[in-house]
Amino acid sequence: MPFTPIHMGPGILIKAILGTSFSLMVFGWTQIVMDLQPLIVLITGEGHLHGFTHTYIGALLIAAFSALSGKYLSEFGLTVLGIFDDSKTIVISWKVALISALLGSVSHVFLDSIMHSDVEPFFPVSLDNPFWRIISVSMLHKVCLYTGLVGAAIYFALNWKLYKNQ
């Protein structure tokens, strides 16, 4: 299913570890962009469900687009939410946007490669999917859920400690 939130679990853990060196918003935006092509296939009934967007070459192109668009969308969103005052310095650097988008797109291809047999991650070099079912779909969902829960616990513990020390 496109736009699955399960991909966010590893992103939450990465955010907890990297802090301001990672943008969870850009990562999340990248997850959405990755699944636009499968959504179009589901709506139209034409095409390859996990096509070029679910290859590592496609992921690199999507990461570039997502970093460019996601940086501005995320900063706009943070401004609307009142978290970011646009009179201040840049909130999300280009380096952070690019790292976040790259991690988002590459992890998306990897996770979907485990779950979906039609993903061809190394296209055009190979049509094989060596990751398919290296673990069960149930275990994959648990890993994603647990990484998200652990990441959230770490994130809130660190922020609580910082808040308490002020």
Give residue-wise pLDDT tens across range 86-100.
556 668 999 999 999
pLDDT tens digits for range 55-111: 999 999 999 999 999 999 999 888 888 776 655 666 899 999 999 999 999 999 999
Q: What is the pLDDT of residue 106?
A: 98
Buried b or exposed e, range 137-158, using 16+ CB within 10 angstroms = eeebbebbeebbeebeeebeee
State the helix-helix crossing angle for 8-18 and 94-115, rounded to 10 degrees.
Answer: 140
CA distance 135 to 51: 22
Residues 21, 96: contact at Cβ < 8 Å?
yes
Contacts of 155 (CB under 8 A, 6+ apart): 12, 15, 16
Mean of the per-residue pLDDT values for the chain?
Answer: 92
The number of residues in the chain equals 166
> Quick count: other Cβ atoms within 10 Å of Cβ 136?
11
